[in-house]
Structure 1
Amino acid sequence: MSTVRNGPLVGLIVQFILLAGLAVTVGIGVSGWLAGLAYGVALAGLLRRGLRAAGADRLAPADRVTLARALLVGGVLALVVPGPGGPAPVAVLVPLAALALALDAVDGGVARRTGTASALGARFDMEVDAFLILVLSVHLAPSVGGWVLAIGGMRYAFVAAGWLLPWMRGTLPPRYWRKVVAAAQGLVLVVAAAGVLPPVAATALVAGALALLVESFGRDVAWLWRHRRGRPLAARPGYPMAAPVRPPGASARAPGSTRAASSRSGPGASPARR
């Protein structure tokens, strides 16, 4: 089981190296260091736990891509945390976030080509997506307004609701629009963070993304409510069976993907694309 230990450990070491590089080049301050290191330690611990629970002795090829994305998100987090150097350097933050989003289109393809799709990989991918959107929302809150935090927090609110309301834990049928809306959130937040648009236009763009997200979540909540006392989903014609995922204790995939997960209550209320 040495690879179970080494995979997450290597990720933690690379996270430290990335943080050191950011500290030397743009400066992240003590708060950035603490946030980045805490994130790296939590990531390594949760990933090791997930591997053990899945009975896996190593990271699959696609999971390594997702781990690279997760480490980039750790760098974004360290830049976003307020420090003595002032606002986060957009010239570094935006490329890191954009690369993390771009790699989201890679890990799923790797999983399908190598035949190594897994529930762990899907969960890992979803959580990375959700946390990146949360971090970007926090970064934009001072300039756009506190309401933008609803974009990053909505998925977590959905999961929390599932802890309190059993009917919210149901498995949702695949829906392509859910994937489109999720992709739009990351793209819009990165564009807004880049500062290439006038403030009014950036605010309007983010507001539009939030409206789409509310519509998507609202439709899923309504579906779960309507089917709260119905027959199990497996017995309903026309709905592919997908294994329910319990609330976490790191987005729905495109139809046909081997790493599909249809439930918002699981790995990512913001649907990912693996």
Structure 2
Amino acid sequence: MHSTNKPAIPILLFIAIVAISFSAIFVKWSTAPAAVIAMYRLLITCAGMLPFLFAYRHELTRVQASDWIKLIISGIGLGFHFLFWMDSLRYTTVASSTAILTLEPVFVMLGSLWLFKQGLSRAAFMSMIVAICGAILIGWGDFKFSGAALKGDLLSLLGTLCVVIHILLGKSLRADMSAFVYSFFVFLFAGIVLAGYNLFQGYSFTAYAANEWGIFLLLAIVPTVFGHYLFNWLLKYMKATSVSMSVLGEPLGATILAYFLLGEMITPIQIAAGCLLLVGVALFIRSQNKPLAQPANSSLIS
């Protein structure tokens, strides 16, 4: 794809949402520690991207020291997001954990108002509320306020706060940095942080069955490359709040996948809530559908 146009953006958003919806399923299938899963998810992705990094050598020479600091912090935010959120799936359901992620666009909106002075129309605000209510209702029946489930919900909330830092810094960096360079180093720094955490915890780096390595690879390809990388790329052409709102499709997609692949039940309330969520997200994106200035030539590896 050599140019970006409005019809292409919804298609790419849909692909990214479906891709990240598989993340919770793959994590549930694995028995490895959450930090190990997250580390290999990121480092395998970087290994696949590394052969293409040479093509961006001239851009790397132009990266300022302040931008490297932002990249490191963004990577730390992403790493701890994966750590907290993946660990939450050990204690609570897919529906509950992913529904808590719906607080993300609220925090991103507040951060965007402060950092980027991005306004929000009344229609956009109301559609955001509709979508968030729908997403919360998806997980409402699974929310627990005591025991292990509460721990899982709190871990998901911490993961949400961490990914907000990642998205806001990404929006700032993507103004002048290609999606490839930004994604590669953010994934790399996040993976390094998680590797240090795993060393500190004494987790094994190698003692995993073949199916576990297959899950690590699937996580690197599906939700990371076709999910997070696409969202990073879209930050150039959409407001940070709009990209964050699009992620609200994950609770619906993950809940549907959990029904078919994990046997987690879907209630009539969750079906109605899913419809409400989709309406809210669609209305929000429509109200915000004014892409930022586009470069003359761009591609998925731009």
TM interval, shorter chain, is: 0.3 to 0.5
Structure with the largest fraction of helix:
2
TM-score (norm 1): 0.37
Q: Taking structure 2 as the reference length, what is the TM-score of the superposition? A: 0.34
